[in-house]
Chains A and B, each alone.
Chain A
């Protein structure tokens, strides 16, 4: 008989057998018969070990399949069954699965094992597909539970490793030329299906099972199992390569890629990373394996894999072992590592930067990329438009990258590119020094300082006067290349932690508790002995700071003291009492208020007085509050005068806004409307005091016998006249007078945008202080008109100020006015805000715009509801 015929014969034999089995299984009531069939089917599954079947089994088989008496035919038989019939048969079995049917035979352990083996010993890829698709289709039932427990056993029993391993070999065995293409396509389709299933299993499980999900299918556990299987498989691969056998890593690579794309990269790589570091530490083959795995992953998952690795590798020295020369070989990797991850993405994790740049610098073949990268980074860093339009975090990230680049840059490259880099740096420095945002300015100074130090170590050192803080110190540390943290410790730590994490933690915790308890007790004891509590202190309020000069008592003396020359103590003392004296409201205050304001406004901090700015501001505020009209008209006039610096103008605005706020608050003690006293009330004749009224007597008697359970009613806030209402206009309108006429010393619409922003903020605050006054509506209208002109200002600071002003309008003006008088303005504002939310480059602006819109909508909605109600 020739081979082909034999095959055909076998096929038909199996077909008839399987059909008859199916029949019997669905009809039969006999447990032993079912078991027998299951056992038979089990025998047809190829076993891993090449043990020959026992005689008994062989006999049973040859009864049904006489062909398999011949050597080698059994193998053919099994292959045929697995290839063409197993899938259907397994699906049939699961379809049959129900409590009744299973109860017929599955009582015994042995019987159950027969059934389970049909899945657990079967080719893993088929089994897992059958089981999972059955679960996804099922509803809560015995069948589902059985499938779930089978799948769990499948995962726990290490069948996944088997699955991966077969895929590694599978691709290699297919060789013949003509078949290759169609086969490849078929395999790829099957792989896609399989990878999809494996990567999304937890998600789909959660979707199917909802709240009844099993622990093992949670991503936390499932992906650890996957990672373990991958690791075991790779160990096999490693062994095979050592024996110079061929293996394919494409499947695993794709699987990792898919898992990462699905967002579970963290769990997977957290598990794998220590092992990766450990295996690559001495072995070149391992290093090759990982390189192939990571770099060979599909392009769309390359980015996420790279990012995960970069985040986790503790020291840049390991990077070459994991990536090889990927940056030179792969276009995509090159783009990711030299451009995208550095320039377009940003993260707080500094390891990413250290790893990328360290990786680039580590080998001579790659290090030529480094000057290029640095040049690109500097380009981005020094772009003044980018500075304005990118977020601070991104900018910080780029700055860090520059510093780290500098640390890694070799002397040779440095020499070559010094001039170009210097040129870019200078350009960038200028852009940074011009920015209105202080933290960007500081960042620019720190980077420029560090960079010049590195670029021209022998040249004059560039030093800026900025406040050192944690950030600047940290940035400076980036200039040194990090050292190898020592792999041994790292790995052993991780391994031990894996093994005895729970135990150790408990121990540590209990230890800490013990330690904590003891010293406290002993300390308490000591403290009781060691106290001065038996001595009662005297009044020490008189213990004040000593000043060498007498404090001025009269307001004119105080004013003169402030302009005294060469007497720092007097100036200080005068400044300190100024507010107190003004608040006493001496009679001559109105006549000297303007002059006093002038003195204070021009006062300079020549003696570095503590809290100079606050003292001066509070004095000015007191002046403005007590003599609002003359002082505000003076201040608003001076705001548009020449011969002031920005600082002074900001002071004026600040004073106006704080004074407005103070005036708007009810005065605490004075200005109280005294309640009308009883004696002033007109009383009817028969109720004159002295003569007891019968009503009172009755009331008293009732009161004495009544128990009241209600608590005393609270007194409402005391009414007070709004002091701001009368003067609000003086604070407001003059400030908007001549904003658009540029002067030599101030150009609000040009370079002095910071002042413009402050002006808008101040107007907003004054308006808010003026709420509930008659003039408020008018002010709001003017303010909206005012900001309309400048709303497309290029500086985010001004835009934010405008949004603040709009918010103040919404909050201050009665809501019905918003929907009537101001309707057109409000609608225009809303459109502008929406525009900002969509298009603005500054995330802060967007956020604020969104909030302002919410505020507006809320106000309008309330108004409509109120109207309906």
Chain B
């Protein structure tokens, strides 16, 4: 067994964002080493990880903060801002233009999620507790998921959402519940109240059917989705030193999971038992987002970990790579 390196420092740090980093995204394009970031002043930056320079800056939200920045397989970039617009950008040899815009209301800070293969985009809706699913090509709302009569207690605003499969959408609500929506039946498949405080973020590994939840509280929880009836079952939880988790990310291989903490630290856990593995200290202000990359060919097929913080820096780490 390789002894992990005694010191933990970032591989490198990307500086240059004009404001606090709000979201990060590794484009799933083959052979690219790009990173997309959104910031609180409405700019979307595209970084080249090899040269560690900004490749492009997309500014289309009138100075309102970016909630989500995503890329599609055809190279288009989606950016969702607090101005209530989802812009679709086409980048071509130095040109950057907004090819289309969908109006997506934003009441809360809930990020969108895109399921590329089905062309579905999920986001928060206009009504309280509402979640909408859009057909990305038709640019229309295909489904409105309103829990009103299906859940006994008011759930509050949606705080985070993610497609678990083509059929299932997981949504974390303000009251601390995690709800699994069955999109085919447009019904709640199951619900589990995990916290007293809002669910801030979760990530899900399809291979292991296991998810991790973070909250305002100082507890990180893992859960399992049962394939038969889509019931969510709590597996383990672990207490963190400081409360508040902004984002969690599970690495593709399902071995480790990273959290971005309000205490500016990133934490690494084993996925299966939530065994604490490492604490990454670099940022000086609360960490807002954390993402694992795919194996990057230009980095010897290693997985990189990128984290953005309120201190405007993006730190890039390489940890537990063989």
Q: Is B273 an interface residue (CB 8 A)?
A: yes
Q: Is B263 an interface residue (CB 8 A)?
A: yes
B279 touches A543 (CB 8 A): yes
Known interface pairs A530-B272, A531-B273, A546-B242; A540-B255 also in contact (CB < 8 Å): no
Known interface pairs A544-B241, A546-B263; A538-B8 also in contact (CB < 8 Å): yes
Q: Which residues B269-311 have CB closer than 8 A to chain A?
A: 269-273, 275-279, 281
Closest beta carbon of chain A to B266's beta carbon, Å: 11
B277 touches A537 (CB 8 A): yes
Q: Which residues of B contact A544 (CB under 8 A)?
A: 241
Identify which of B3, B4, B241 contacts A545 (C-beta below 8 A). B241
Known interface pairs A543-B265, A544-B241, A546-B242; A535-B277 also in contact (CB < 8 Å): yes
Identify which of B256, B263, B264, B276 contacts A540 (C-beta below 8 A). B276
Known interface pairs A530-B273, A543-B265, A545-B242; A537-B278 also in contact (CB < 8 Å): yes
Closest beta carbon of chain A to B261's beta carbon, Å: 9
Identify which of B3, B264, B265, B275 contacts A532 (C-beta below 8 A). B275
Nearest residue, chain B, Cβ from A536 = B4
Q: Is A416 an interface residue (CB 8 A)?
A: no
Alpha-carbon gap, A177 to B289, bound state (A):
109
- Categorize the interface residue count of chain B: 20 to 34
Identify which of A532, A539, A546 contacts B270 (C-beta below 8 A). A532
Q: Which residues B1-55 have CB closer than 8 A to chain A?
A: 1, 3-4, 6, 8
Identify which of B242, B264, B265, B270 contacts A535 (C-beta below 8 A). B270
Nearest residue, chain A, Cβ from B8 = A538
Q: Which residues of B contact A540 (CB under 8 A)?
A: 276, 278-279
B279 touches A532 (CB 8 A): no
Alpha-carbon gap, A532 to B272, bound state (A):
6
Q: Which residues A500-553 have CB closer than 8 A to chain B?
A: 530-532, 534-540, 542-546
A538 touches B4 (CB 8 A): yes
Closest beta carbon of chain A to B217's beta carbon, Å: 15
Closest beta carbon of chain B to A544's beta carbon, Å: 7
Q: Which residues of B contact A542 (CB under 8 A)?
A: 279, 281
Known interface pairs A543-B265, A544-B241, A546-B242; A535-B275 also in contact (CB < 8 Å): yes
What DSSP secondary structure best describes chain B's contact surface?
loop
Q: Which residues of B contact A530 (CB under 8 A)?
A: 272-273
Nearest residue, chain A, Cβ from B5 = A538
Known interface pairs A542-B281, A544-B241; A537-B272 also in contact (CB < 8 Å): no
B279 touches A535 (CB 8 A): no
Q: Mark A279-294, 1 if CB is under 8 A from B, else 0.
A: 0000000000000000
Q: Which residues of B contact A532 (CB under 8 A)?
A: 255, 269-273, 275, 277
Alpha-carbon gap, A536 to B2, bound state (A):
9
What DSSP secondary structure best describes chain A's contact surface?
loop
Identify which of B4, B6, B241, B273 contacts A543 (C-beta below 8 A). B241
- Categorize the interface residue count of chain A: 10 to 19
Nearest residue, chain B, Cβ from A527 = B273
A538 touches B241 (CB 8 A): no
Closest beta carbon of chain A to B87's beta carbon, Å: 36
Alpha-carbon gap, A147 to B4, bound state (A):
86
Alpha-carbon gap, A759 to B88, bound state (A):
78
Nearest residue, chain B, Cβ from A532 = B270
Known interface pairs A543-B241, A546-B242; A536-B279 also in contact (CB < 8 Å): no
Nearest residue, chain B, Cβ from A529 = B272
Closest beta carbon of chain B to A533's beta carbon, Å: 8
Q: Which residues of A contact B281 (CB under 8 A)?
A: 542
Q: Which residues of B contact A537 (CB under 8 A)?
A: 4, 275-278
Closest beta carbon of chain B to A738's beta carbon, Å: 50
A534 touches B1 (CB 8 A): yes
Closest beta carbon of chain B to A569's beta carbon, Å: 14
Q: Which residues of A contact B269 (CB under 8 A)?
A: 532
A535 touches B255 (CB 8 A): yes
Q: Which residues of A contact B241 (CB under 8 A)?
A: 543-545
Identify which of A531, A538, A545, A546 contacts B277 (C-beta below 8 A). A538
Identify which of B1, B242, B273, B279 contacts A538 (C-beta below 8 A). B279
Closest beta carbon of chain A to B317's beta carbon, Å: 12
Q: Which residues of B contact A534 (CB under 8 A)?
A: 1
Closest beta carbon of chain A to B211's beta carbon, Å: 15
Q: Which residues of B contact A543 (CB under 8 A)?
A: 241, 265, 267, 279
B6 touches A539 (CB 8 A): yes
Nearest residue, chain A, Cβ from B279 = A543
Alpha-carbon gap, A531 to B281, bound state (A):
26
Q: Which residues of A contact B263 (CB under 8 A)?
A: 546
Closest beta carbon of chain B to A442's beta carbon, Å: 29
Alpha-carbon gap, A536 to B278, bound state (A):
9
A536 touches B8 (CB 8 A): no
Q: Mark B141-174, 1 if CB is under 8 A from A, else 0.
A: 0000000000000000000000000000000000
B3 touches A536 (CB 8 A): yes
Alpha-carbon gap, A626 to B89, bound state (A):
70
Q: Which residues of B contact A546 (CB under 8 A)?
A: 242, 263-264
Q: Which residues A223-266 have CB closer than 8 A to chain B?
A: none
A-side residues, CB < 8 A to B, are: 530-532, 534-540, 542-546
Can you report 9 A-B residue pairs in the complex whose CB atoms are below 8 A from each other?
A532-B270, A535-B277, A536-B277, A537-B278, A538-B4, A538-B277, A542-B279, A543-B265, A546-B264
Q: A536-B277, A542-B279 are in contact. List 6 more A-B contacts (CB 8 A).
A: A535-B270, A535-B320, A537-B4, A537-B275, A543-B279, A546-B263
Ranked nearest first, the 10 interchain pairs of A and B with the lowest CB-CB distance are: A532-B270, A538-B278, A532-B275, A543-B279, A546-B263, A537-B277, A543-B241, A540-B279, A546-B242, A530-B272
